[in-house]
C-alpha cells in the first residue's frame, strides 16, 4: 500500500519495503508483509547455511539447491512486483580463504541466475568485505554483461568519519589519516564494473549521519533504495518511534529523488498499551514494524506538494535534448506554444520595455513622441504583445517592427495583428534580421535569442548583425548576459550518453532538466556579452580557465561533466536567468545545459579542479571545446567542432 498521496508524485518513493529473514514459505512471507502495509519484501533467495563445497561430488548432479520455494509458489507478477532478492550476506569473494572465495563465487552466480529466472526487478548484493573488492567486482561485472533488465543494488553503509581536530590537511604526526568513507568503496566497485548502468546502490542508513556536504554527493549517484534500520529511530514523548531532524530531512530528500525506503531490523520500541481491549485480536495481527512504517508514511505525507512548474517539468527530468539550431531550422508550432506559456519571462520583458520607454521619452513628450521598437526574432508575437502592453502601461506611443525569418510563424503573426487590431502599430517583416535593410533606425531593439548557456543559440552574432539599425544611443533588451558553469556528479546522464557508444554524443552539449545530480562547487561566470557592442574589433571568440575548489568535508567525488546556466540583464535592474542562486522563479523556458566528460574525473577531498572552455567561431558555425587539466587531464572535447556545433 503506497505511503500516501502527494500531488504530482508518481515515483517509486511512494512504495516502502521491508527486509526479511530467510523463510522457505514465500507465500506466507509475502502475504504477512503486504497485509502489514508494506509494498515489497527484500527476502533471501537461498538458505543461509548452504555452502557449495559441503555438497558431495557424487550427489551434486541430482541435488536440489535450497532456494526459498519453487517459482510456482508465487505468480510471475508477484515475484516481479513485490520481491527484491537478497543475496546471501556470508558471501566474500575477496577472502583469503580459497574455499570461502570459491563457494562465494558459485553461490553468487547461482542466486543471481535464480533471481533472473524469477524475473525479479532487483537483487540486493552484500556489502564488500574489507577494502579490497577486486574479485567481487570482477564476478559481478561478468554477470552484468549477460544480465536481463534486473538491477543489482550494492549495499553500501552511509558513513564517513570526519577528520580529527588535530589533523591538518589529512596528516597527523607525519602519518596519513585513514578516513572511513563508504563512497570510496562504492566508487572503487563501480569503476571496476565500468560504470555499468544496471549497477546501483542501496544505502544503509545508520543512527549517525555524515556531514551535510558529504551527503550531497549521493544525490548524483544511482541510489535506488535506502535501508533504514529500526535502531536508528528515537522515541517520542508518547513512546512511539520517530527520527532526528537530520534523518527526517534525509528521508524527505530520498522521497524527492524517487529513492525507496526499506525498513530493516526488529522492533526495538515497546509501544504504550491501549485502553481498548476489544481490539486485542487486531493488535496481535498488527505487523511488528507497523509503527515504523506509519512514521515513514507520516513523513511522506507531510511533504510539500510539487509546485505546478515542477509537475509540468516531470517528464523532462534528466532527459537529454539536443540544443535548438534557431538559425538553421524553423521552430515548430508546438515549440513556440511551449515557450509562449512562460508568462514569467514575458512579464520580465514587459517590465524592461516599460522602464526603457520611460527613460527614452519624458512624461511631457509622451503624447507627441513615437518610439520605434524592433522585435528581432518575433516568433508568433509574444514580445510584440509584451511591448505594446508596456506602451499602454506607461502611456507612450509605439511603432513596432516585427522581424521574423520563419515564414510559418509569419502567418501566425499576420493573424495576430489582424485579430488584435494592431495594423496601424505593427509592421511585419518576413526576413532574416541579418539581411534586412531597415527603413529607419530603432530606439529600442528587443530579442529573445538567449539559449541555456546565454550565447549558445548565437545571440551575439544575431544582435551584432541587427545592431546596424539601432540608433547610436539606442537600447538593446537584453543589454548583457553571462554564462555560468559548475562541476557535477550525475551518474544518470553519464550512462545515458554512454549508451550511444560513440564519441559524438560525449562531445555534444545537451539541454536537460537537471534532477539527479550533485552540484560539487559553486558556479563561476564564464563568458559575458554586452549589447549594443560598438567595439571596433568585435570578436565573439572566447576562452576561460576556471579553478573549482572542492570542499574538504564533502569527501572525494567524481565529475561526470559540467552544468551550464546563464543570467541576463534585460534593462537596468530587470534580470532574467537560470543560474541556481539567482534564478528567476517559476520560469521554464530554459533548462540548464550539460557538457559531458568522456571519462569521469576522480577528485580528492579538498583538492582543485581546473576546467577550460573555448567558444570558437568559423565562417559557417560556432562551437564549444572543453577539457579538464587538473587533477588529471582529459582530452579536449569537440576539437574543431567535429561533433557538435551551431550553424550560422
State the Cα angle at 469 between 468 and 475, rounded to 5°.
Answer: 100
Of 389, 381, 377, the C-alpha closest to 417 is 381
159, 221, 457, 461: which one is catalytic?
A: 457
Q: Please state, in angstroms and rounded to a whole number, the distance separating the CA atoms of residues 533 and 517.
A: 37
Pairing of strands 260-264, 16-19: parallel
- Count the neighbouring beta carbons within 10 Å of the beta carbon of residue 21: 10
**Catalytic residue status for 340:** no
Would you give the end-to-end CA distance of the chain in angstroms?
Answer: 55
Residue 629: phi and psi, rounded to 5, are: -120, -10
Of 100, 120, 99, the C-alpha closest to 41 is 120
498 and 456 Cβ atoms separated by less than 8 Å: no
**Catalytic residue status for 625:** no
Residues in the chain: 648
Residue with cell 542501496: 202
The contacts found for 28-37 with CB under 8 angstroms, 24 or more apart, are 29/68, 30/74, 30/78, 30/82, 30/83, 32/287, 33/287, 34/82, 35/287, 36/286, 36/287, 36/289, 36/290, 36/293, 37/1, 37/287, 37/290, 37/293, 37/294
Of 599, 605, 591, the C-alpha closest to 555 is 605
Cα separations (Å) of 360 from 233, 352, 476, 544, 572? 65, 12, 12, 36, 13
111, 448, 461, 507: which one is catalytic?
A: 448
Pairing of strands 524-530, 234-235: unpaired
Cell (9 digits) for 75: 505468480
Active-site residue numbers?
448, 457
Amino acid at each position: 500500500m503506497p505511503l500516501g498521496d502527494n500531488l504530482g508524485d508518481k515515483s517509486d518513493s511512494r512504495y516502502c519495503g521491508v527486509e526479511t529473514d530467510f523463510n522457505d514459505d514465500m507465500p506466507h512471507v509475502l502475504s504477512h508483509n503486504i497485509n502489514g502495509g508494506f509494498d515489497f519484501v527484500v527476502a533471501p533467495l537461498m538458505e543461509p547455511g548452504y555452502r557449495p563445497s559441503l555438497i558431495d561430488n557424487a550427489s551434486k548432479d541430482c541435488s536440489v539447491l535450497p532456494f526459498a520455494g519453487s517459482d510456482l509458489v508465487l505468480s510471475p507478477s508477484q515475484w516481479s512486483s513485490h520481491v527484491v532478492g537478497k543475496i546471501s550476506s556470508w558471501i566474500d569473494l575477496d577472502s583469503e580463504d580459497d574455499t570461502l572465495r570459491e563457494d562465494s563465487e558459485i553461490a553468487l552466480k547461482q542466486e543471481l541466475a535464480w533471481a533472473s529466472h524469477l524475473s525479479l526487478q532487483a537483487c540486493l548484493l552484500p556489502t564488500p568485505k574489507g577494502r579490497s573488492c577486486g574479485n567481487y567486482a570482477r564476478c559481478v561485472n561478468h554477470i552484468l554483461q549477460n544480465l536481463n533488465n534486473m538491477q543489482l543494488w550494492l549495499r553500501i553503509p552511509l558513513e564517513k568519519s570526519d577528520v580529527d581536530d588535530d589533523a591538518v590537511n589529512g596528516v597527523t604526526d607525519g602519518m596519513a589519516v585513514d578516513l572511513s568513507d563508504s563512497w570510496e568503496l562504492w566508487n572503487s566497485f563501480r569503476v571496476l564494473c565500468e560504470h555499468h548502468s544496471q549497477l546501483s546502490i542501496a544505502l544503509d542508513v545508520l543512527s549517525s549521519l555524515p556531514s551535510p556536504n558529504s551527503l550531497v554527493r549521493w544525490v548524483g549517484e544511482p541510489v535506488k533504495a535506502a535501508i533504514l534500520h529500526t535502531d536508528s529511530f528515537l522515541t517520542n514523548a508518547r513512546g512511539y518511534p520517530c527520527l532526528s531532524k537530520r534523518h527526517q530531512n534525509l528521508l524527505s530528500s530520498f522521497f524527492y529523488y524517487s529513492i525507496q525506503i526499506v525498513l530493516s531490523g526488529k522492533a526495538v520500541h515497546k509501544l504504550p498499551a491501549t485502553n481498548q481491549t476489544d481490539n486485542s485480536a487486531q493488535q496481535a495481527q498488527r505487523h511488528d514494524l507497523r509503527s515504523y512504517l506509519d512514521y515513514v508514511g507520516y513523513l511522506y505525507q507531510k511533504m510539500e506538494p510539487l509546485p505546478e512548474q515542477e509537475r509540468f517539468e516531470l517528464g523532462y527530468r534528466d532527459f537529454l535534448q539536443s540544443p535548438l539550431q534557431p538559425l538553421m531550422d524553423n521552430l515548430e508550432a508546438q515549440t513556440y506554444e511551449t515557450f509562449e506559456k512562460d508568462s514569467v519571462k514575458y512579464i520580465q520583458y514587459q517590465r524592461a520595455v516599460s522602464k526603457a520607454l520611460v527613460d527614452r521619452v519624458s512624461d511631457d513628450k509622451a503624447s507627441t513622441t513615437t518610439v520605434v521598437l524592433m522585435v528581432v526574432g518575433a516568433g508568433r508575437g509574444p514580445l510584440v504583445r509584451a511591448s505594446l502592453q508596456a506602451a499602454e502601461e506607461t502611456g507612450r506611443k509605439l511603432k513596432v517592427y516585427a522581424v521574423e525569418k520563419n515564414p510559418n510563424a509569419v502567418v501566425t503573426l499576420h493573424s495576430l495583428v489582424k485579430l488584435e487590431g494592431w495594423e496601424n502599430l505593427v509592421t511585419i517583416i518576413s526576413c532574416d534580421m541579418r539581411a534586412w535593410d531597415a527603413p529607419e533606425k530603432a530606439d529600442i531593439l528587443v530579442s529573445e535569442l538567449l539559449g541555456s548557456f546565454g550565447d549558445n543559440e548565437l545571440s551575439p552574432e544575431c544582435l551584432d548583425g541587427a545592431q546596424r539599425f539601432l540608433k547610436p544611443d539606442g537600447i538593446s533588451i537584453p543589454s548583457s548576459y553571462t554564462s555560468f558553469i559548475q562541476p557535477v556528479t550525475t551518474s544518470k546522464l553519464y550512462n545515458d550518453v554512454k549508451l550511444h557508444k560513440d564519441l559524438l554524443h560525449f562531445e555534444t552539449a545537451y539541454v536537460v532538466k537537471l534532477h539527479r545530480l550533485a552540484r560539487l562547487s559553486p558556479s563561476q561566470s564564464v563568458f559575458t556579452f554586452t549589447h549594443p557592442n560598438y567595439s571596433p574589433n568585435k570578436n565573439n571568440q572566447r576562452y576561460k580557465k576556471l579553478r573549482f575548489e572542492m570542499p574538504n568535508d564533502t569527501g572525494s567525488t567524481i565529475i561526470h561533466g559540467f552544468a551550464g546556466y546563464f543570467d541576463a540583464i534585460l534593462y537596468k535592474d530587470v534580470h532574467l536567468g537560470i543560474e541556481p542562486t539567482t534564478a528567476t522563479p517559476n520560469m521554464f523556458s530554459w533548462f540548464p545545459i550539460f557538457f559531458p566528460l568522456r571519462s569521469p574525473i576522480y577528485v580528492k577531498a579538498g583538492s582543485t579542479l581546473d576546467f577550460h572552455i573555448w567558444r570558437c567561431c568559423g565562417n559557417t558555425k560556432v562551437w564549444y571545446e572543453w577539457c579538464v587539466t587538473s587533477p588529471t587531464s582529459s582530452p579536449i572535447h569537440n576539437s574543431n567542432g567535429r561533433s557538435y556545433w551551431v550553424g550560422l
